[in-house]
Each structure stands twice: as C-alpha cells, then as structure tokens.
Amino acid sequence: MLTRIPLVDTKPSITTFQQHILRQQRAHWPHATGTFSWLLSGITLATKMTEARVRRAGLLDILGSSNAINVQGEHQQKLDIYADQALIHCLGMRDSVAIIASEENEDAIVFDGRKGEGKYVVVFDPLDGSSNIDVNVSVGTIFSILALPPGISPEDDPQRAVMQSGVKQLAAGYVVYGSSTILVYTTGHGVHGFTLDPSIGAYVLSHENIHMPTNGNIYSCNDAYFETFPTNYQRFLTALRRGETGRSYALRYIGSLVADFHRTLLKGGIFLYPPTAKNPNGKLRLLYEANPVAFLAEQAGGAATDGRRRIMEIEPTEIHQRVPLVVGGLGEMQAFQEFYSA
C-alpha cells in the first residue's frame, strides 16, 4: 500500500515582514507603487545591521561612550552613532525619502538631488535606551513615517517638512533588541509583531493583531523622581500603590522606552514619564519617541497623553521637543485621568 508523502513541509507557513507589507499594500493601497514597502525595507535592513552589533557588543569596540555630546546634551554612545549611520545610509538609498530627522542630529537631513522625487519623511530614535547598552539590557530603535506635506520643499523648509502632528503618521514602529529581536509596526491597520529569525535573516510574523489589555497589573515609571513629579501624578501613583483604583500592581521599570512600552503593549498597565525638576517638559521626545508609541498604543486599543492632551494632536514647535508621556490600557488611562483632573 502506497504511503502518501506530503509534497510540502507541513510546518505552518511563515509570513515575513516583506510579505506582510505587500499584503497590507494590496489590501489597503491597491494603487501603491511599492515605494512605501521599499522604504520600510530600508529601515528593517538598518535594524538588522544594528542588531548584529548589539548581539556582539562585548566583542567589538562598540561599547561605551564616543566622547561626543549630541544635540540633547547627552554623551553619545558608540552604538548610538552606528545605529544612526546605518539608518541614514539605508534610507539614503531609498529615492522616495525626502528628508529625515534623528535624535542624534541637530538638524533634519535632506538627501541631495532628490528634487521632487522624495515623498516621505522619516523621523527616528536610532538607539533608544543608550544608558542600558553597556549592561546588556534591552535597547531599541523607534521610527515614524510621514508624507512630505504638499507644496513644502524639504530643502527650503525642512522644519515644516518634519514637524507634523502625530495624527499625520503613515506608519510607526520599533525594534526591541531583547532576548529576541522583535519588530512591531502599524500602518493604521492594527499592530503586528515580527521576530527576527537569525537562521534566515528575516523578520517573521509572530504577534498578529496585538491588542493592549484594557486593564493590567504593572505600572512603570522612574520612582527615583517621584518627589519632583507634579502632585496630580503623585496622587495617582499613591492611589495605585494602595490599591485604591481597585486593582493591585507591581512596578517594572527597565529604563528603555521601547522595552517598557513593549511590555505595556503586551501585558497592559501604564507607563509614565512625567515632568520632573530635571526635565520640566518631560524627557521623551515628541516626534520620534512619543508619537510613534502613541500611534501604536491607539492602534492596539490603548491611549497616550502628555497628562492632558492626546499625544498625537500636539502640534510640534521644535524637532527635538520633549513632552511628558502617559501611555497604557484604557482602564489605567481612565483612572489616571480621574486623579489628574481631580
């Protein structure tokens, strides 16, 4: 009796990030020319270059400070510079990119000779969580993609090209270089996660349609600054600790926004970086940290504010503008709002 041997491997089929983008493109932008997916592939390539350095950081001369100070007044780590250069190089190879802005560069960067060809604006934090690099704690890359506003010349008016409110984002995402390397992104049609499979060098779909739990059991903030938080933040956190919001919580704080947010996205709860004495407007940057995180949070069913305003409706006034950030599941965000406005 003949035994039938399946013609193809019966393992579940894999979906790579590239396939997922093309599927999204066919479903939502059937007339797209593919320049957007080509742009996204430039970002994923740069993150794979950075990931290769992060994984072997202890073996390469890539740890520690570069002794340079960036526009933020912070010591640039060698890996900050490498990740920044990788993104600039890979995006520079995409003709559809008109202008970019990076945490590591004071001014926006316009690619020469693109007159009229560039359609997109990309803003990014090339390496988030720099203080954690040398101690092998998760770090990441955060990006946000916008359209070049009609009638704006990136050469003549770079500020207006880049400084757009978060509702204008076409896509946003991050890569967290953690126990595994995970890319999470949205184009406004849900939030999807991909795990880098080193054996094939591709990001493979691992978390489709991520939803942030309405209620969680973790709150996340740098408790060392509690005494300098505004009193309404202190009131909320004290109530949370005492179980007065009806739930019990643990505190988890990694100190890398991408990692603290990734956990909040998957497990729910709330992350807060309030105004402090050291950073009266908050520490996190609107364009390339708060906005992409807010887009992802909202797409996953959560919310993100600066304490009062919806993050994505804040009109930027500077490229490196800082804002307070409160982001989490709707249950905790509602509870925060009650104490904030009390």
Applying the rule CB under 6 A, the residues between 128 and 157 that interact with ligand AHG are 128-131
Least distance in Å: CB of 263 to ligand AHG? 12
Q: What is the CA radius of gyration of the chain?
A: 21
- The token pair at 133 is 């690099």
Q: 251: closest CA among 236, 229, 226, 270?
A: 270
Which residue is nearest to Mn ion, using beta carbons? 128
- The token pair at 154 is 């990136």
Which one, 176 or 202, has the nearer CB to ligand AHG?
A: 176
Which of Mn ion, ligand AHG, none binds 84 (CB below 5-8 Å, type-dependent)? Answer: none
Q: Does 178 bind ligand AHG (CB under 6 A)?
A: no
First-last CA distance in the chain: 78
Applying the rule CB under 5 A, the residues between 87 and 126 that interact with Mn ion are 103, 125
- Considering only 51-59, 194-202, 253-261, 333-341, which stretch makes contact with ligand AHG by CB under 6 A? 253-261
Give SS3 for 160.
helix
Which one, 131 or 209, has the nearer CB to ligand AHG?
A: 131
Q: Does 283 bind ligand AHG (CB under 6 A)?
A: yes
Q: Does 255 bind ligand AHG (CB under 6 A)?
A: yes
How many binding residues for Mn ion (CB under 5 A)? Answer: 4
Which one, 154 or 307, has the nearer CB to ligand AHG?
A: 307
Select the residue interacting with ligand AHG from 256, 264, 291, 299 (CB under 6 A): 256
Residue pair 40/173 in contact by the 8 Å Cβ criterion: no
Q: Does 128 bind Mn ion (CB under 5 A)?
A: yes
Applying the rule CB under 5 A, the residues between 269 and 328 that interact with Mn ion are none
Residue pair 300/183 in contact by the 8 Å Cβ criterion: no
Which one, 245 or 276, has the nearer CB to ligand AHG?
A: 276
Tell me the backbone φ, ψ of residue 205, rounded to 5 degrees. Answer: -55, 120
Q: 223: closest CA among 234, 232, 239?
A: 234
- The token pair at 211 is 């939803």
- The token pair at 319 is 């490229």
How many binding residues for ligand AHG (CB under 6 A)? Answer: 13
User: Distance between CA atoms of 132 and 232, rounded to whole angstroms?
Assistant: 30
Residue 205 β-bridge partners: 194
- Considering only 20-28, 154-162, 170-178, 251-259, which stretch makes contact with ligand AHG by CB under 6 A? 251-259
DSSP of 9-38: --SPPP-BHHHHHHHHHHHH-TT--SHHHH
Residue pair 274/230 in contact by the 8 Å Cβ criterion: yes
User: Distance between CA atoms of 257 and 142, rounded to whole angstroms?
Assistant: 9
Q: 50: closest CA among 160, 141, 119?
A: 141
User: Distance between CA atoms of 339 and 335, rounded to whole angstroms?
Assistant: 7
Which of ligand AHG, Mn ion, none binds 230 (CB below 5-8 Å, type-dependent)? Answer: none
Least distance in Å: CB of 77 to ligand AHG? 8
- What's the length of the chain? 342
Which one, 104 or 298, has the nearer CB to ligand AHG?
A: 104
Which of Mn ion, ligand AHG, none binds 306 (CB below 5-8 Å, type-dependent)? Answer: none
Is the CA virtual torsion 167, 27, 262, 288 positive or negative?
Answer: negative
Least distance in Å: CB of 260 to ligand AHG? 6
Least distance in Å: CB of 55 to Mn ion? 19
Which of Mn ion, ligand AHG, none binds 122 (CB below 5-8 Å, type-dependent)? Answer: none
Which one, 103 or 332, has the nearer CB to Mn ion?
A: 103
User: Distance between CA atoms of 101 and 31, rounded to whole angstroms?
Assistant: 28
- Considering only 8-16, 127-135, 198-206, 235-243, which stretch makes contact with ligand AHG by CB under 6 A? 127-135
Interface residues with Mn ion (CB under 5 A)?
Answer: 103, 125, 127-128
Interface residues with ligand AHG (CB under 6 A)?
Answer: 103, 125, 128-131, 222, 255-257, 260, 273, 283
